[in-house]
Amino acid sequence: MQGGLSNVYHQCNLKGITHINKLRYNHVTKTIISYDNQHVVTHILDLDFNSLYPSVFSGIFNKNNPYTNNRIYQAGGLANYIKCSSNSLKQKARDIIMSDDRFNDKGQLFCVRIKGHIDEKHINSHINLAPIWRKLTYNNSIEQIGEFMYNKMKSQGLTVDKPTTKLTSLLSTHNQFMCFTNYILWFLIDYCNFVVDDIDSIALFDKHLGFESFACTMMSKRQDAISQHNDTKSLYYKQILNSAFGGEGQNNAKFDKISFNNARQASLKQLKQDHKATRKLSDDIYNPDGSLSSEAQYMVSESPRQFKCNKPLQEA
């Protein structure tokens, strides 16, 4: 399965029978070939993220991270913003991105809006796991996804010819400006042969290690609990760490707000611009004497049109 726009070449994988499938790009014909190699499936590996989520953005030393002295810093306040409206400003932004300071403490944290692509000579090194991941909305028409996938979706009773949103793996930005944070972009440039074609703007941020002590303390406590075979404490500290990732690593203000209301409250919320959907959960319940025992309940979803980022940006 390749990314969100999935192409499942083998819909049945049998241990010891099914050959492993790969993709290959032909530079001459500009086409992609799907082929089976000589190796046979022995295991299907499903990778999950480390349960200690905050360690990713806590600033703890990690020799596998070559940037900013082997630490992933958190972004703090906005230090500078450059709208790259001229060639000189584009070059200034490019110099910031490509600076050798990215390997030491002087490396600057940034979020940049760029166009780019994987060098064509190196596409086959990355085509089986395209490194640019984006949540994209597209029309799943026959022109967009191809006849094979279109007919397969129809035969399975899936919706076609309508906009749908999928997590998609890409080899380029498809001539569109996309946002990248510094660690991801450095990885793409240094290890995935990514070429920056154009720069629209760049925002620079202060950096800090304010979360490091908390993550280290909680992880140490959890490791102690595991060594003592105390499952309750281990789960307790794990939940604290996981909650910290969700609470501090994401901007919750942008998510839909769900509330449960009676008919009057639901009617008022439906008048707001933020109203998204309403679902009736129950009817009015009456006592034997005809008096109202319990009002009907409605679930109302509100999606904010505007929101503020009240927390520092995180790198995760």
For residue 243, being part of any structural domain is answered with yes
**3-state secondary structure at position 65:** coil
Give pLDDT tens digits along the chain (316 positions).
Answer: 333 444 444 567 788 888 888 889 998 998 888 888 899 988 876 655 554 455 565 688 888 889 999 998 888 888 899 999 999 999 999 999 999 999 999 999 999 999 999 999 999 999 988 999 888 888 888 888 888 778 888 888 888 898 888 778 899 999 999 999 999 999 999 999 999 999 999 999 998 887 788 888 888 898 999 999 998 988 888 887 777 665 555 555 556 678 888 998 989 988 988 888 898 888 888 888 888 888 888 888 888 777 665 554 444 3
**Helices 182-191 and 87-98: angle between axes, nearest 10 degrees:** 80
Range of the domain at 293: 261-302
What's this model's pTM, rounded to 2 decimal places?
0.71
Give the Å distances, CA to CA, from 155 to 57, 150, 160. 44, 9, 11
Terminal CA-CA length for the chain: 24
CA distances from 278 to 167, 174, 251 (A): 27, 37, 24
Overall domain count for the chain: 3
Q: For residues 217 and 181, state if they share a domain.
A: no
Q: What is the DSSP string of 35-55?
A: EEEEEE----------S-GGG
- 169 with 61, same domain: the answer is yes
Residue 246 and residue 268 in one domain: no
Q: Are 109 and 182 a contacting pair, CB within 8 Å? A: yes
